[in-house]
């Protein structure tokens, strides 16, 4: 992805929640660096929000391991 560009993905999860995922590359962060932001909407409870947050954290931890190996 070219620096300064942002890609946005929107997906419905089990027709209950909505995930908005933004991925951007930034020259300010350094060469080969990018950032990801995830926003979950319409979750039914604080408990569901905590579970989703933990699930995303686990996926990003797994991605970090994969990227570190390359």
pLDDT (tens digit per residue) in 17-62: 677 777 776 666 677 777 777 888 888 889 988 988 898 899 889 9
- Predicted confidence at residue 17, as pLDDT, reads 66
- pTM, 2 dp: 0.64
User: According to the model, what pLDDT value does residue 69 have?
Assistant: 87
| Bridge partner residues of 21 (DSSP) | 9, 38
12 pLDDT more than 60 = no
Contact 5, 24 (CB under 8 A): yes
**DSSP letters along 7-35, please?**
EEEEEEETTTEEEEEEEEE-GGG-TT-EE
Supply the pLDDT for residue 1: 45
């Amino acid at each position: 992805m070219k620096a300064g560009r942002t890609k946005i993905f929107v997906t419905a999860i089990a027709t209950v929640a909505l995930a908005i995922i933004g991925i951007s590359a930034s020259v300010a962060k350094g060469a080969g660096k990018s950032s990801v932001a995830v926003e979950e909407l319409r979750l039914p409870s604080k408990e569901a929000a905590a579970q989703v947050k933990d699930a995303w954290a686990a996926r990003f931890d797994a991605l970090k391991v994969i990227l570190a190996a390359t």
